[in-house]
Structure formats: C-alpha cells, structure tokens
Structure 1
Amino acid sequence: MSSDRYPVSIKGVLCSPAGALVLMLNERDEWELPGGRLEPGETVPQCLAREIEEELDLRVEVGAPLDSYLFEVIPTRHVFIVTHRCRLREGARFEPRLSHEHKQIGLFAADALPANLPAGYRASIRRALQGTG
C-alpha cells in the first residue's frame, strides 16, 4: 500500500467537556470524525490540530494514535485513515463553529452514536474510550 496510491486522512476522537463525542456530517450524509488531509512537510499532530481548528474553530492537543486502516469512501475510492486521541487545549473554550466543509456538527453520547457512522470510526471511538490503541 503506497501513499501515492491512496490519500491519507488524519482524524481525531474528540470529546466535549461534558463527554459527548464530536462528529461532523459530511456531503455524503455520513457522520465522521473531525480531521483531514496531511499536507507536505506537516507532522501528523500538526495536521490534525490544524484541521480541527479549520473545521471547528477549536484548539486541541493531539494524543496517541488509535488505529489506521484503508476505508472505501465510495466504490473504488479508498482513503488511508489514521485516527488519534485529541483533547481540548488547557484553557481553550469549547465553542465549535461549523465550517464550509461540513453540513452539521453533532455531539453524541458514546452509547447513542448515529447509524450512519462508518465502522472504522466506531472502532476508533471504542478504543479511545476504553483506553486502548
């Protein structure tokens, strides 16, 4: 598997101060974790912190990796996904703002995740909440 063949997307499992999981509704009407494409010269933590700031206007600290896998976004189109734990930076406010990249921001309890959330994201959330990965 070559990164030349598959785009790489870095995603974060982030909870609100009240413990709700932060998800974004994309153009395919699927919920997803916040994050996005790695840019040349950027580290994974830099990428994820930048993407979450762009998508949600939140400042986060990027933690340990959770998972990586090949995801079929639509038939024959794959993206290599890497997920990490994230948390709001110390002293940062939790006032997420929707960017043009998504339709909606959702806050979900771990036991009430939406049906249209892909299995890979569910597995990363489970790992983050169980402290594994």
Structure 2
Amino acid sequence: MRTLCASTLIGEFFVIGFAGLVAMKDPDLTQATVWTVSGVAMFLSLVLCGVVTRPGGVAVGWAFQVALFAAGFVVPTMFFLGVVFGALWWASVHYGRKIDEAKARFAARAADAAEPAGPAGAGA
C-alpha cells in the first residue's frame, strides 16, 4: 500500500506546484500567500509519503485529498484534479491493501514450506 499511496502523493506534489504557478496569476493573491500555501501543501504531501502506513495515516491522506479538492475555489481546475487524485487515492488504498494481504499470504505459505516435516533425526 505504501508504494501506491506514495506514488499518488508524489504526483500531487507536482500538481500543487503547478497549481501555485497558475494561482500567481490571480491579482487578489500575493506571491507570498500563494507560495506559503503551496509550499506547506507540497511539504505535507512528502511527509504523508512516510507516515501513510502508520495509524491514522490513511485518514490524514483523505483529509489531504479533501483539501486538494477545496483548492478548486482558488484555482478552478483543482476541482477536476481533486476528483482525479481522490479516485487515485482510493485505488491506491484499496488495491494496496489487497496487495499487502496477498504478500502476507505468500510469505506465510513460503514459511510453512520451509519448515521441516518432523523432528530432526526421527526414525533413525
């Protein structure tokens, strides 16, 4: 799950940076405001890459997706991109968990196959 979620978050890192460039064209926003908000959001996307597998990490990721969607009030294209990345986040979490479960089953089978059938030296 970590790899899929981190990939989505890295994609969001770049999208947030590009959205910051678009938001700079808004005459009501100062460059300092745009880059403070964009910089914090970009930093959070990187931090989330590391904590996504910890308790509450996925929930914080969902909150981040909502914030990305809400950025559409400043840069309207972000409504569309927020939906796209929300769907990618769902897929990353959903299929990532399935992959993790399959890996655990495979590891358990491999561990069972590696165990000796009986006590060493039995029957001699």
**TM-score (norm: length of structure 2):** 0.26
Which structure has the larger Rg?
Answer: 2
Larger proportion of strand: 1
**TM-score (norm: length of structure 1):** 0.25
